[in-house]
Chain A
Amino acid sequence: MNQPKINTSPKVSDEVKKTTCYMCACRCGINVHLKDGRVAYIEGNRDHPINKGVLCAKGSAGIMQVNAPSRLRAPLKRVGPRGSGEFEEISWEEALSLATSWLKPLRETAPEKLAFFTGRDQSQSFTGWWAQNFGTPNFAAHGGFCSVNMAAAGIYTMGGAFWEFGSPDWDHAKLFLLFGVAEDHDSNPIKMGMGKLKARGARVVSVNPVRTGYNAVADDWFAITPGSDGLLVLSLIHLLLKAGKIDLDFLAHFTNAPVLLDSDPKSPTHGLFLRDPEGRPQVIDRRTGKLAPWDGEGVEPDLSATHRAAGITHRPVFHALAERYLSEDYAPEAVAQRTGIAASQIRALAGEIARCAFDEAVTINREWTDFRGVTRQTMIGRPVAMHAMRGVSAHSNGFQTARAIHLLQSLIGAVETPGSMRFKPPYPKPATAHPKPHCKVTPGQPLNGPHLGYPQSPADLCLTPEGTPARIDKAYTWENPLSAHGLMHMVISNAHAGDPYKIDTLFLYMANMSWNSSMNTSGVMQMLSDTDENGDYVIPRIIYSDAYSSEMVAYADLVLPDTTYLERHDCISLLDRPISEPGGAADAIRYPVIQPDRDVRGFQSVLLDLGARLGLPAMVKADGSPKFADYADYIVNHERKPGIGPLHGFRMGENGVQHGRGAPNAAQIDEYIKKGGFHVSHIPDGAAYFKPWNRAYQDWAVHIGLYDKPDPYLIQLWVEPLRHFQLAAEGVGAHQPPEHLRARIKTTLDPLPVWYPPFLDEAVDPEEFPIHALTQRPMAMYHSWGTQNAWLRQIHGHNPLFVPTALWEEHGFKDGDWARVTSPHGEIVVPAVNMAALNSHTVWTWNAIGKRKGAWALAEDAPEATKGFLLNHLIHELLPPKGDGLRWSNSDPVTGQAAWFDLRVKIARADAPPESQPNHPAQKSPVGQGPANLAWQVRK
């Protein structure tokens, strides 16, 4: 046989540059193969701590993103009406002078009239610093509509969260419980972890109304009815407590279960901790039977002993806890109906948790010393790992549900122990170690401190002296006191309503707020283009930075075009949302691996330029000239505190280069580039587990600059700050909530996890709207950006509504039918598809596939616009009126997290309209349209 001779060793590329992916927020390491200076192929970086060589569909499609026809070409000034997409291209000088002329007067007179909100940009420590220097209190990123429930519940409870800061111990877990996750931010690590569990034959249990993706490979599926996870978890807690299958040693030493509570209902400090004069919470030391501070040397906290002082009985938190959850209200039979999970199934799961935690405990023979100075010979772990994300957090009971999960983890000793969930540096870090929110405005001056933080009591709210909200998004008010990430989803509607006040300039960065990131999308489009009686826009000015021709671009007055991720410097910093893994602190950079072929600039550099033009103190030298040449200069030379900068690797010490703390090093970025674009400081073995309590870890964290001093803490099963708010609602203290919120605060800001029905359930008639409607992240698409990607849009070019078989048959649907979906707020008509592996009261669709006509440089007949749709049209940022004259926000009452998944609808068969409804008129494309055919090859 004479086979053709083929070259099996072709040259792959001229050059490989290692940088960080930006096709999503997971931030994997990539090898960018270049030929003739053009991107020819992208693969995962094997050395990278996050992805270890693998790459997801989006990451591999990066080449189509960089070459997308939708890329903006130059700064744009609006010439048509808002929303039309009519622009003229202008120079950077003109753009920046214009922005300066708008912003300078605001800063000098009323800095709060600038609202600066950013999307998932991964440089929040930088953008926040800029906003703080500008002096506006109105800054936040996307966390408020994303998953602040997860973050806040985790940080207030465990000093760390699932969301970005925690990870299952994939190598030791034997049972993995996954609540409400379709994709997660940790996209690749979760997939790799699932692969590891599968390879070891560990059991994966999914709690999710929908069985796709991770949930499809899970060994067991709990088809929960949305919004009821809290009940399921509290029932598991009930069963485990009742059976005594709890880790008493862990509870006593590492949680506040033994901390003494004022248990006298008549006392003004009822429910607060008994503290010594230094303010330290008190426990009873089993060695002496006497009071002792929680962290006293050698103290053996007693989980059961009570203490009476000054006529008041103090009981350990554990008593309150046992009392509450042993109640038959949480018996499996009592929750089966509401959760949709059979009592037998709940028992089986509780039994399996108990078996794994206690019969299959993992013991690592490694000595370690805890913060009380007690040395232990082994590390005993409960190999039950849990993870949860937006399925839990995007409900109005999400904060407390997440807390319930953390309580479950803590009860069985499954936090930071081998086989359970581990923190990623800079976490663990308790709420008390975070700043409090700041909102004091002084014209012409920086804000009095960082915007976002963790309030400890009502005194920390962001209210004006008159008691009105200080922030445009009403974060940190009685409506949502612990809104640690702000409420980006309320900014436009509040600014439009002038409530709490009017603003002048809305400055958005990387958030598609006129489309998929807003609730009530059509309404928001209207608000953005509404005019007042003088014909002026109600929101006078909108500046926006995007890299592509998105839906939001059409609503901006001034567009600052960004580069793509392969053309700029970025910093994935430990000060922000780093790329650490449980075994090490890691940060990374991006750097220009190719040069932009158009008149675009990295937004961070533009922001520094703008800051200098505005004369912001941290951005100019004494002579008024710019302090930083560009963002790269900032990354290297900015110091947050002496010795601490955006990057922790390759800093300058007395004896040369060192990691962690150190002076700026001019060669720092080059060092990162040489080392593959990232730096990891590995945690020593003896410090790898029990981090919050492990002296070795605490010392290490101080050494590399994560903490200034060791800061051990207890897991807060009882969250005292919540009790402070509850007490206020009960009428105690100087800071009092408005009357209409008292009752709600009392029930929802419970210091122990509670479950209450999602707010929309109460606000609408469940008979009329019996169906839950959800979205899921498609693994191969990132929100709206994926659509402009010629490869990815073929995978998800439109999205059907998936209807459970029972409803499908009940309504007489046939293949190819369309459905009319109606919520209390609106209606959509969309293609429908039958699905069996779905909770029978739930419909769902892929998120953010539907597009506005004309956006993203697509043809107007693109399926994204003609068949695709957004569920967002059905969701309102406010709950339906209750008749009390108030409009309650569709958010979690604790954190303000947008309650996307509380949505309730009814469905019916519908005649197929020509296009999915609602249908918005096309926006003009400022960049034209893409070519017809592609045959992509760079090969020489």
Chain B
Amino acid sequence: MTQLPAKTERKLGLVIDLDTCVGCHACVVSCKGWNTENYGAPLADTDAYGGNPVGTFLNRVHSYEVTTPEAPPRLVHFPKSCLHCEDAPCVTVCPTGASYKRVEDGIVLVNESACIGCGLCAWACPYGARELDAVEKVMKKCTLCVDRIYNENLPEEDRTPACVRTCPAGARHFGDFADPDSNVSRLTAERGGVDLMPEQGTKPTNKYLPPRPRDALREEVDVLAPFLAPVAETPTGFLGWLDRTLSKLPGGPN
């Protein structure tokens, strides 16, 4: 089981748009809400109302600051969940076969009833996408909402991950990367979607769209200068311009 499939029929995953993510954590909590109730054991919170609350989350939003000498500093909100890697090291290290990559769609899952909670898969994942649940003692990770995306009890339009459905800014997109015409493939191509830590050789399925260039409005650009050419230099001159301009407008005496 922990052998990776040579090829999956589909490659389902997410595109995350770092240009648009406002860092609201909606996806984080919606993920928690759906996944504590559905597939697998609940996602526990220890010391929930105490001095050191620690809970299991399958999706977390970081933020990073990017500074360059030339431009104003930027801040980027950065959501991260399992990337459903093609060469998933978390799967091959698993001694029990609890971790596996699904042949039909490439989703990486943990079969919780087989998991011994050894934690090795979490060590093997470079992205911090797996968390061992402190109460349930099994490995938890993003399921790509496998219990939503095919769920016949949900209306067709809701067969999408909870985090995608809830993202207010529309910064998360779900689809099949094996299909070059899918929304996610097209977005990745158009916006130059990238892999995280490509050097780790995990071949992540999820792609990140980099933030667009920022802060162009710092110098009065040549194309904008004509828009500010003064019509007059003094208030009196301005009223003169006004009279001249008004007289050219329709609506006055014929």
Tell me, yes or no, whether A binds B. Answer: yes
Chain A interface residues (CB < 8 Å from chain B)? 1-4, 6-12, 40-44, 46, 51, 53-61, 63, 69, 187-188, 191-192, 194-196, 198-199, 205, 211-214, 216-221, 223, 239, 241-245, 248-249, 286-289, 300, 302-304, 318-319, 322-323, 326-327, 342, 344-345, 347-352, 354-355, 358-359, 779-780, 788, 790-795, 797, 805, 835-837, 857-859, 861-863, 866, 929-939
- Apart from the given pairs A213-B23, A859-B50, 15 other A-B contacts in the complex at a CB distance below 8 Å: A10-B151, A11-B153, A12-B38, A42-B33, A217-B20, A217-B211, A243-B231, A248-B245, A286-B252, A351-B220, A779-B22, A780-B29, A790-B48, A935-B42, A936-B45
Q: Which residues of B contact A286 (CB under 8 A)?
A: 246, 251-253
A300–B26 touching, CB < 8 Å: no
B224–A61 touching, CB < 8 Å: no
> Given A220-B217, A937-B37, are A44 and B246 also a contact pair (CB < 8 Å)?
no
Q: Does B116 contact A (CB under 8 A)?
A: no
A75 and B28 alpha carbons, distance in the complex (Å): 36
Q: Which residues of B contact A794 (CB under 8 A)?
A: 45, 53-55, 57
A419 and B39 alpha carbons, distance in the complex (Å): 44
Q: Does B123 contact A (CB under 8 A)?
A: no
A217 and B19 alpha carbons, distance in the complex (Å): 6
A344–B220 touching, CB < 8 Å: yes
Q: Which residues of A contact B242 (CB under 8 A)?
A: 248, 303-304, 318, 322
Chain B interface residues (CB < 8 Å from chain A)? 1, 3, 5, 17, 19-26, 28-30, 32-34, 36-39, 41-55, 57, 63, 65, 67, 72-77, 100, 102-103, 109, 111, 114, 134-136, 146-147, 149-154, 157, 162, 165-171, 211-212, 214-221, 223-225, 227-235, 238-239, 241-243, 245-246, 249, 251-253
Q: Considering only CB atoms, which chain B residue lies closest to A189 in the complex?
A: B168
B243–A213 touching, CB < 8 Å: no
A192–B169 touching, CB < 8 Å: yes
A61–B53 touching, CB < 8 Å: no
A791 and B1 alpha carbons, distance in the complex (Å): 34
Q: Which residues of A contact B235 (CB under 8 A)?
A: 322-323, 326-327
Taking the closest CB of chain A, its distance from the CB of B86, in whole angstroms, is 15
A249 and B251 alpha carbons, distance in the complex (Å): 10
Q: Which residues of B contact A59 (CB under 8 A)?
A: 26
B220–A347 touching, CB < 8 Å: yes
A773 and B101 alpha carbons, distance in the complex (Å): 50
Q: Which residues of B contact A837 (CB under 8 A)?
A: 65, 72-75
Q: Which residues of B contact A248 (CB under 8 A)?
A: 242, 245-246, 249
Q: Considering only CB atoms, which chain B residue lies closest to A196 in the complex?
A: B170
Q: Which residues of A contact B168 (CB under 8 A)?
A: 51, 54-56, 187-188, 191-192, 195
B67–A60 touching, CB < 8 Å: no
B151–A8 touching, CB < 8 Å: yes
Taking the closest CB of chain B, its distance from the CB of A41, in whole angstroms, is 5
A300–B252 touching, CB < 8 Å: yes
Closest 4 CB pairs of A and B: A351-B224, A930-B49, A191-B168, A195-B170
B1–A2 touching, CB < 8 Å: yes
A933–B26 touching, CB < 8 Å: no
Q: Which residues of A contact B5 (CB under 8 A)?
A: 1
Q: Considering only CB atoms, which chain A residue lies closest to B34 in the complex?
A: A41
A322–B239 touching, CB < 8 Å: yes
Q: Which residues of B contact A187 (CB under 8 A)?
A: 168
B49–A61 touching, CB < 8 Å: no
A882 and B46 alpha carbons, distance in the complex (Å): 52
A55–B166 touching, CB < 8 Å: yes
Q: Which residues of B contact A288 (CB under 8 A)?
A: 253
The contact of A932 among B50, B152, B219, by CB within 8 Å, is: B50
Taking the closest CB of chain B, its distance from the CB of A904, in whole angstroms, is 24
A359 and B157 alpha carbons, distance in the complex (Å): 39
Taking the closest CB of chain B, its distance from the CB of A753, in whole angstroms, is 17
The contact of A797 among B24, B53, B231, by CB within 8 Å, is: B53
The contact of B29 among A57, A199, A862, by CB within 8 Å, is: A57
Q: Considering only CB atoms, which chain A residue lies closest to B221 in the complex?
A: A348
B20–A198 touching, CB < 8 Å: yes
Q: Considering only CB atoms, which chain B residue lies closest to A213 in the complex?
A: B22
Q: Which of A69, A205, A793 has the most CB of B within 10 A?
A: A793
Q: Which residues of A contact B239 (CB under 8 A)?
A: 304, 319, 322
Q: Which of B30, B33, B54, B111 has the most CB of A within 10 A?
A: B33
Taking the closest CB of chain B, its distance from the CB of A190, in whole angstroms, is 8
> Given A1-B3, A3-B102, A61-B29, are A836 and B73 also a contact pair (CB < 8 Å)?
yes
A344–B232 touching, CB < 8 Å: no
Q: Which residues of B contact A349 (CB under 8 A)?
A: 217
The contact of B232 among A69, A242, A780, by CB within 8 Å, is: A242
A515 and B128 alpha carbons, distance in the complex (Å): 38
Q: Considering only CB atoms, which chain A residue lies closest to B56 in the complex?
A: A935
Taking the closest CB of chain A, its distance from the CB of B149, in whole angstroms, is 8
A931–B151 touching, CB < 8 Å: no
Q: Considering only CB atoms, which chain B residue lies closest to A58 in the complex?
A: B29
The contact of A348 among B57, B65, B135, B217, by CB within 8 Å, is: B217
Q: Which of B3, B149, B231 has the most CB of A within 10 A?
A: B231
A10 and B214 alpha carbons, distance in the complex (Å): 45
A191–B169 touching, CB < 8 Å: yes
Q: Which residues of A contact B53 (CB under 8 A)?
A: 790, 793-794, 797
Q: Which residues of B contact A304 (CB under 8 A)?
A: 239, 242-243, 246
Q: Which residues of B contact A350 (CB under 8 A)?
A: 227-228
A244 and B238 alpha carbons, distance in the complex (Å): 8
> Given A198-B20, A319-B239, A859-B51, are A9 and B252 also a contact pair (CB < 8 Å)?
no
- Cβ contacts A to B, 15 pairs, < 8 Å: A12-B153, A61-B29, A61-B32, A188-B168, A195-B170, A212-B75, A220-B215, A220-B218, A221-B72, A322-B242, A348-B219, A790-B55, A930-B50, A935-B42, A937-B42
A355 and B217 alpha carbons, distance in the complex (Å): 13
B45–A790 touching, CB < 8 Å: yes
Taking the closest CB of chain A, its distance from the CB of B247, in whole angstroms, is 9
Q: Which residues of A contact B219 (CB under 8 A)?
A: 344-345, 348
Q: Considering only CB atoms, which chain A residue lies closest to B61 in the complex?
A: A795
B73–A213 touching, CB < 8 Å: no
Q: Which residues of B contact A60 (CB under 8 A)?
A: 26, 29-30, 32-33, 166
Q: Considering only CB atoms, which chain A residue lies closest to B111 in the complex?
A: A4
The contact of A53 among B33, B165, B249, by CB within 8 Å, is: B165
Q: Which residues of B contact A302 (CB under 8 A)?
A: 246, 252
B251–A287 touching, CB < 8 Å: yes
A936–B74 touching, CB < 8 Å: no
Q: Which residues of A contact B230 (CB under 8 A)?
A: 242-243
B238–A342 touching, CB < 8 Å: no
Q: Which of B5, B36, B109, B168 has the most CB of A within 10 A?
A: B168
Q: Considering only CB atoms, which chain A residue lies closest to B167 in the complex?
A: A54
Taking the closest CB of chain B, its distance from the CB of A13, in whole angstroms, is 9
> Given A40-B37, A302-B246, A861-B51, are A212 and B23 also a contact pair (CB < 8 Å)?
yes
The contact of B24 among A12, A69, A780, A933, by CB within 8 Å, is: A780
B49–A195 touching, CB < 8 Å: no
Q: Which of A187, A347, A805 has the most CB of B within 10 A?
A: A347
A51 and B135 alpha carbons, distance in the complex (Å): 35
A1–B166 touching, CB < 8 Å: no
Q: Which residues of A contact B225 (CB under 8 A)?
A: 351
Q: Which residues of B contact A4 (CB under 8 A)?
A: 100, 111, 114
Taking the closest CB of chain B, its distance from the CB of A193, in whole angstroms, is 9
> Given A286-B251, A790-B55, are A352 and B224 also a contact pair (CB < 8 Å)?
yes
A7 and B49 alpha carbons, distance in the complex (Å): 34
A863 and B75 alpha carbons, distance in the complex (Å): 26
Q: Considering only CB atoms, which chain A residue lies closest to B226 in the complex?
A: A351
Q: Which residues of A contact B243 (CB under 8 A)?
A: 304
B252–A287 touching, CB < 8 Å: yes
Q: Which residues of A contact B76 (CB under 8 A)?
A: 216
A859 and B46 alpha carbons, distance in the complex (Å): 13
A3 and B3 alpha carbons, distance in the complex (Å): 11
A239–B48 touching, CB < 8 Å: no
B234–A326 touching, CB < 8 Å: yes
The contact of B170 among A8, A69, A192, A220, by CB within 8 Å, is: A192
Q: Which residues of B contact A3 (CB under 8 A)?
A: 1, 100, 102-103
